[in-house]
Structure formats: C-alpha cells, structure tokens
A and B are shown apart, each in its own frame.
Chain A
Amino acid sequence: MSDYTYLDHAATTPMRPESVAAMLPHLSQHFANPSGSHRFAREARTAIDEAREAMAAVIGCKPGEVIFTGGGTEADNTSIRGVLARRGGTSVCPAAEHHAVLECVHVTHGTVVATTATGAVDLDVLATALESTPDASVVSVMVVNNEVGTINDMAAVAKVVRRSAPTAALHTDAVQAACWLDLRTIWPHVDLLALSAHKFGGPKGVGVLIAREGVTFEPALIGGGQERERRSGTHNVGGIVAMAEALRLTDVQREAELPRIAALRDLLVDRLVAELIGVHETVPRDAKVAGSAHLCIEGIENEALLFLLDEAGVCASAASACAAGAMEPSHVLHAMGVPRELAQGALRLTLGTTSAEADVHRGVEVIVRAVHQLRRTSTVVS
C-alpha cells in the first residue's frame, strides 16, 4: 500500500495493529466455541464477556445491552424489521439514510421523510410525518451520513420522536460516528444503536447492536439462542475481541485525533477549492465530521475521475456501487436537492487515523491533474 494514497476511510479503515494482535490468538490456539462447557470454551467465553464490557464502557450502555452481530447491516435490519415483527406498526426514516436502513423501510412500506439541503433530517418534516403516522413503531435516524458526513443532532431528533411518537422505538445507525463522536453522548437519546467494527479499525463481518433494556424485537437469526436469544449463531470470537480493542483505542485517541484530522481535511478541501474552478463543498464543515471531505466538481463524471485517481494510486469514492460494481446516482445528493448534473461530479474523500499531510498533498496533485485532463475534452457542460 505504500504507493497508494488512501482517502476512503468511510468505506473501510485499515485495521489497527493492536486489533489484529488481539484477534490472532483466537484464530489459532484459542479456537474454542464459547458456548461449550469445557475450560477452553470458558476461556473463549471470558474473552467475549470482557469484550462486551469494554464495548459497553465506550458506548455508555449496560453490558447486557450489547448484542454482537455480523456487522452494521445486520444490526440495522434486526432493529427495524425486528421491532416491526414484534410490535407491528410502521417504520419511518429520512431519505439520506444508508441503504441498510432505507431498504428495510422500503420493503416494509414505511415512510421516508425529506432531509434538509445539508442531508440532515428536517425536524419539522419528521414531526409532521410522525404525527400523521400514529402507528409508527420504529424510527431510524443515522448519527453521521456515510456519503457527505453530515451530523444529525440526536438529542433534538429524540425530542421530536418522544413528543410526536412516544411509543416508537428510536434506532440509530451510528456506523459512521464512532471515530468522530463520543458515543456516550448518543446512546442516552436512542433505544437501538448499530455499529460496524471495520469503520473504526476493526475487522469486517462483525458489528454490534445496542438494544436498550426493555426494548424488544424479533431476532433476525434464531437457533442456538446465543446473545440471550437475541442473535443466534456461534460467536465470531476473534472478530468480537478485535472490535472491542479497536473501539477502545478509537475512544482513547479521539480527542487528540479530531483536531489533527480536521486540519488535514481543511487543508485538502482548501487546496482543491483554491486550485480548481467549479469545486463545491457539498456540506459546510461545521455541519459534518472531521474526516469527511465531500465535493461536487463541475464538468466531470466521477466514474471517469475515479479511474484516473486509481491509475495514479489514489483511493477515493463517489456514491455507493450496485451489485454489478457500477456507480449508482447518489440517493443522498438527490435527497439534498443537488442537481443531477452536479451530482455526477461528486467525490468523497475521507480521512482517518492513518492519514498524514503527505496524503493530502499527493491527493490534491493527482485530483487537480485528473480534473484538468477530463475537462480538456469533456463533453459534459459545466
């Protein structure tokens, strides 16, 4: 990777070495099934219990509220579909949610509400929607938007939900939040919260659903009854231990990392805006997280831009990709009212703990060169 400039931390983060180290013993000598009844099983069980407590400490919840899952999507699905299955009623979410939430709301014929121009949930619209949806049983609002980095004020969201839909469970997809926000400030406002380990230096394929005591749902997976019958399936012991270590370190280092990464992001965006014409910052910096730079670049198509960046060793992204791997037009930018032509030039650059100033300068040089190349002969009129 040394020849590469990685500006795609919102897609996934490199694993923290400490997280890898914590994981390895569970892939070799400590292989036992924690549900077993012998000493090796008990050792594995201890590792899981410790990981659960470590996670709870960072999130500010009770250990019993931590449910290990196979990732963020599973946690989102379990929350929304599980509450609907248990309580009936309908679901409500804003239009800029991640597909893991949006699809759950779509397939259950729930209500999707408008966002503001920054991609944040429009609290007035949400209140009106909830008041006209008396059977709303689960409301889902993400903490941080995965594409544009916009932060939702969860205290304000909770106030609206508790007032307008007092019986509804409030779920939040906090997958993009862990690196940037103290989760202890989020958890008190919600009933269900989803995290994914690989977004904060842990491994892929493991995540967590935090479910407030007393908030019940139908499990997505039934079988052996693990996780107090809320998520069956043999524990991914190595993944869980590695996730807990990654989250612990993320939490410890957050305060020091935030200003450092914010400064890098500012340098990145300031240079691009200064060196190229027709570059628009999609969301004001004070409305979003420190590691996120999202731009709309006039007169280019991001599919072509990403090819040139890739050729030059710069990893970035645009919107989400479809099953075939093609870029899809961004539903987030659409929800924000960004014109389709400008959205074609959307570029997401996201920084993280491994980012350094050299990455920023290299990224800027490559992006500026690529945009010039594409504009020289581009047929897209800016």
Chain B
Amino acid sequence: MALSGGVDSSVAAAELLRDGHEVVGITMRLWGGESDTGCCSVADVDDARRVAQQLGIDHLVFNFTDDFNEHVVAPYVSAHQQGLTPNPCIECNRHLKFHRLSERADLLGFDAVATGHHARIIDRDGVRYVARGEDMAKDQSYVVHMLPQRELVRTMFPIGDLTKAEVRLRATAMGLRTADKPDSQDVCFITHDGGRTAFLGSRIAFRPATVVDAVDGTTLGAVESVEMVTLGQRRGIGLPGGGPKRYVVDIDHATSTVKVGDESMLLCESMVVHDMTWAHLPVDGDVLVQSSAHGATQPAAITLEGNTALVQWAQPQRRVSPGQSVVLYDATDTYVLGGGIAG
C-alpha cells in the first residue's frame, strides 16, 4: 500500500485490512529538495508512519529520489525549456508508483500494489481497464490512465468506490490523524512561496519574448520568459487592462514570440496526440476525450497512425497545450481506453 501520509491512502490501507489482505505500508521518498505541501515531506512521512502504527501494519520508506529526478523532475524542466506544458504527476505515476514501486513489490514477493487514487479497475471480458472513481469531482482516472494490463492485474484502488466525503467520514470514525488533513495541491516539488517561476528560473535560463497581435503582427509588449507562458493565458503577459479579452493563442519558441488574440482563435478542429499507450488494444473511431485533470470530456473521432492519434473534435475545442496528457474514454465516459501527450 503506497502511503503518502494523506487521508485517501490512509483509508485505502484500512479498507484493504478490512477485506482481509496482508498489508505493508510504503512511503516513497521522491523529492530531496525544498517542498511545502508535497507528498514526500518529512511531516507527511510522520503521518504515514503514525497511520500505519495505528492500523497495526509495517511501514517502510523507499528512497526513489534518483528515479524521481531522472523520470519526473529533469523531464519537467527540459519540457518547459522546449516550450511544452508537462504533467509531472502523471509521469510520477507512470515511472514511480506503477513501475519502480510495483517492480520492487514484485521482487519482494507482494501480489499487488494499492494506492489511494480515486479510480476503479473494472473487468470487461477478461480485460482490465482504469475506470472513473465513484466521486466524479475527485476522479483521478486521468492521472492513472497509462496503466498497461500487466500493472492493471496487480493494482488495487481500495477507495475508488467511495466519495471523498465518505473517505473522510471513515477516517474520522477510525480516529485517523489524517482525517481532516487538506488535500494535496499542485506539484509536490514546487513550493508555494517560490512557485514554478522560482523552480524553473534556478534551473534554466529564461528567454524574454515579444508579445504580438496574432492578426496583424504588431508588437504589444514583452514578457521575461517565453518558458512561463501557456496557451490560453490572459494575465501576466504585459497587456494593458480594458478592451476586449485577449488570450495567448500561439507561442513560437524558436523566435520567442507570444501571439495574442480573441478567444475564437484558441479553437481548433483537431489535434495530434503522440506516445499513445493503451489499456488493451489500440482504439479508433468515436470516443470521449479529456485533456486536463478535471476538465469535461468532449466527443471526438480518432484516427491512428502508428503511435500517434489524430483527434477530430465533434465541435471545435480550445487548443491543448503541447505536453499535456490527453486521455480517451469509452462512449459512456466510464473507463479509460488509452492516452498520450498533446503535440
């Protein structure tokens, strides 16, 4: 059981015990640097250990800081340098929780790895899929969408059938110290005080960019770092207030140019998604597509070309920042078919 020190994994461990499983709690130490809200601070490890003690299970800390740096932090930094907007939590799930941890668990003789994600695993004709959790507002199927069959058969999400409110009620009923602990927010290795700018600024050289009108090319202003600008952004691009709302509609990293325009210019008919992974077999045709952690799904048609999917939206949609994860759900919006990275 991956114990982060939060309420979800605390209750998940208790659910497993109630169901008669033999449980060992593992806290992964992932980030060795500065952190405040993150999943790997010492205070969170203390919470995880106390919950394990209360439940009467063994608790260990595994040091995966090297892997975390290699597979999550370094790619996060270099993606920004290339003008992408990555999702580090998804890469952490892909490389740490559902690879490094599950490989080690296998090596140590464990039958399954459980986490406190709000998601479910369902069986359709002998094939496993990640499905949405009971609590749609907290559903995390998007961030665990990449699980392949070999992981799905040895993964458990014990609180997937519970709402967040039920999770907290159970934690309170058991007197767990994490019962009222706030949900973790944002990226664990980025501090509240410094934010993304301080984190990236100390690791890459920011390049200033010119802000121009997307229609006529006139220069409207400048920003200090093209790396910190994201598609659809409205504030912090040095434009005077008043007038029609203007959005970042394109970012040209090669020339360090940020183009702004009205909302309609953000819309597109289709998008390309590469590095596709699939729960089972590749799927094309009509699906539902989710392109942010808590965004709504939109209908689209998929055409495949090797490892790349062309998403043809049923209705024009706002453009998705390159580097974001795009997840395909079945027509009933119940379970994950596959996913990839927006190009």
Q: In the complex, which residues of chain B have a beta carbon less than 8 angstroms from the beta carbon of A378?
A: 107
Say whether A326 faces chain B, with CB atoms less than 8 Å apart.
yes
Give the complex CA separation of A307 and B62 in angstroms: 10
In A303-317, which residues have CB < 8 Å from any B CB?
303-304, 307-308
B107 touches A325 (CB 8 A): no
B45 touches A325 (CB 8 A): yes
A307 touches B63 (CB 8 A): no
A373 touches B109 (CB 8 A): yes
On A, residues with C-beta under 8 Å from B are 301, 303-304, 307-308, 321-328, 373-374, 377-379
In B20-61, which residues have CB < 8 Å from any A CB?
27, 29, 40-42, 45, 49, 60-61
B63 touches A303 (CB 8 A): yes
Question: CB within 8 A of A324: which of B45, B103, B104?
Answer: B45
Known contacts: A307-B60, A379-B103. The answer to whether A322 contacts B108 by CB under 8 A is: no
Say whether B106 faces chain A, with CB atoms less than 8 Å apart.
yes
Give the complex CA separation of A374 and B103 in angstroms: 11
Q: In the complex, which residues of chain A have a beta carbon less than 8 angstroms from the beta carbon of B41?
A: 324
B103 touches A326 (CB 8 A): no
Between-chain CB contacts (< 8 Å), 5 pairs: A303-B104, A326-B63, A326-B65, A328-B63, A378-B107
Cβ-closest chain B residue relative to A344: B66
Q: In the complex, which residues of chain B have a beta carbon less than 8 angstroms from the beta carbon of A377?
A: 106-107
Q: In the complex, which residues of chain A have a beta carbon less than 8 angstroms from the beta carbon of B61?
A: 321, 324-326
Q: B24: shortest Cβ distance to chain A, in Å?
A: 8
1/0 per residue, CB under 8 A from A, across B277-302: the answer is 00000000000000000000000000
Question: CB within 8 A of A374: which of B40, B62, B65, B107?
Answer: B107
B42 touches A323 (CB 8 A): yes
Question: CB within 8 A of A307: which of B40, B103, B108?
Answer: B108
Number of A-B residue pairs at CB separation under 8 A: 40
15 more CB-based (< 8 A) A-B contacts, given A308-B108, A321-B61, A327-B63 = A303-B63, A307-B108, A322-B29, A322-B63, A324-B29, A324-B40, A324-B41, A324-B42, A325-B61, A326-B29, A326-B62, A326-B65, A373-B109, A377-B106, A377-B107
Known contacts: A322-B29, A324-B42, A324-B45. The answer to whether A304 contacts B63 by CB under 8 A is: no
Interface centre among B41, B45, B108 (most CB of A within 10 A): B108
Q: A227: shortest Cβ distance to chain B, in Å?
A: 33
Interface centre among B27, B61, B109 (most CB of A within 10 A): B61
Q: In the complex, which residues of chain A have a beta carbon less than 8 angstroms from the beta carbon of B60?
A: 307, 325
1/0 per residue, CB under 8 A from A, across B75-106: the answer is 00000000000000000000000000001101
Q: In the complex, which residues of chain B have a beta carbon less than 8 angstroms from the beta carbon of A304?
A: 104, 107-108
- Interface size in chain B (residues, C-beta < 8 A): 18
Q: In the complex, which residues of chain B have a beta carbon less than 8 angstroms from the beta carbon of A322?
A: 29, 63
Interface centre among A301, A303, A326, A378 (most CB of B within 10 A): A326
Give the complex CA separation of A304 and B107 in angstroms: 8
Give the complex CA separation of A198 and B175 in angstroms: 36
Q: In the complex, which residues of chain B have a beta carbon less than 8 angstroms from the beta carbon of A328?
A: 63
Q: A342: shortest Cβ distance to chain B, in Å?
A: 15
Q: In the complex, which residues of chain A have a beta carbon less than 8 angstroms from the beta carbon of B103?
A: 379
Cβ-closest chain B residue relative to A375: B107
Interface centre among A322, A325, A378 (most CB of B within 10 A): A325
Give the complex CA separation of A327 and B103 in angstroms: 18
Q: In the complex, which residues of chain A have a beta carbon less than 8 angstroms from the beta carbon of B40?
A: 324
Cβ-closest chain B residue relative to A379: B103
Cβ-closest chain B residue relative to A328: B63
Give the complex CA separation of A328 and B66 in angstroms: 11
Q: In the complex, which residues of chain B have a beta carbon less than 8 angstroms from the beta carbon of A379?
A: 103
B27 touches A324 (CB 8 A): yes
1/0 per residue, CB under 8 A from A, across B181-212: the answer is 00000000000000000000000000000000
Give the complex CA separation of A328 and B61 in angstroms: 11
A373 touches B107 (CB 8 A): yes
Q: In the complex, which residues of chain B have a beta carbon less than 8 angstroms from the beta carbon of A323?
A: 42
Q: In the complex, which residues of chain A have a beta carbon less than 8 angstroms from the beta carbon of B107?
A: 304, 373-374, 377-378
Cβ-closest chain A residue relative to B62: A303
Q: In the complex, which residues of chain A have a beta carbon less than 8 angstroms from the beta carbon of B45?
A: 324-325
1/0 per residue, CB under 8 A from A, across B163-180: the answer is 000000000000000000
Give the complex CA separation of A328 and B41 in angstroms: 15
User: What 8 pairs between A and B have smallest CB-CB spacing?
Assistant: A326-B63, A326-B29, A324-B45, A325-B61, A326-B61, A323-B42, A324-B42, A327-B63
Give the complex CA separation of A370 and B53 in angstroms: 26
Q: In the complex, which residues of chain A have a beta carbon less than 8 angstroms from the beta carbon of B42?
A: 323-324
1/0 per residue, CB under 8 A from A, across B145-175: the answer is 0000000000000000000000000000000
Q: B84: shortest Cβ distance to chain A, in Å?
A: 29
Give the complex CA separation of A219 and B60 in angstroms: 38
Interface centre among B27, B62, B103 (most CB of A within 10 A): B62
Give the complex CA separation of A327 and B60 in angstroms: 10
Give the complex CA separation of A322 and B118 in angstroms: 31
Give the complex CA separation of A12 and B104 in angstroms: 29
Q: In the complex, which residues of chain A have a beta carbon less than 8 angstroms from the beta carbon of B29?
A: 322, 324, 326
A325 touches B49 (CB 8 A): yes
Give the complex CA separation of A307 and B108 in angstroms: 8
Give the complex CA separation of A308 and B24 in angstroms: 13
Give the complex CA separation of A327 and B28 in angstroms: 11
Q: B242: shortest Cβ distance to chain A, in Å?
A: 51
Give the complex CA separation of A325 and B40 in angstroms: 11
Give the complex CA separation of A324 and B106 in angstroms: 24
Give the complex CA separation of A371 and B177 in angstroms: 37
Q: B234: shortest Cβ distance to chain A, in Å?
A: 40
Q: In the complex, which residues of chain B have a beta carbon less than 8 angstroms from the beta carbon of A308?
A: 108
Give the complex CA separation of A323 and B27 in angstroms: 13
Give the complex CA separation of A340 and B106 in angstroms: 24
Cβ-closest chain B residue relative to A340: B66
Q: B70: shortest Cβ distance to chain A, in Å?
A: 13
1/0 per residue, CB under 8 A from A, across B96-140: the answer is 000000011011110000000000000000000000000000000
Cβ-closest chain A residue relative to B58: A310
Q: A84: shortest Cβ distance to chain B, in Å?
A: 28
Give the complex CA separation of A325 and B103 in angstroms: 21
Give the complex CA separation of A322 and B40 in angstroms: 12
Q: In the complex, which residues of chain B have a beta carbon less than 8 angstroms from the beta carbon of A327?
A: 63
Q: In the complex, which residues of chain A have a beta carbon less than 8 angstroms from the beta carbon of B65?
A: 326
Cβ-closest chain B residue relative to A377: B107
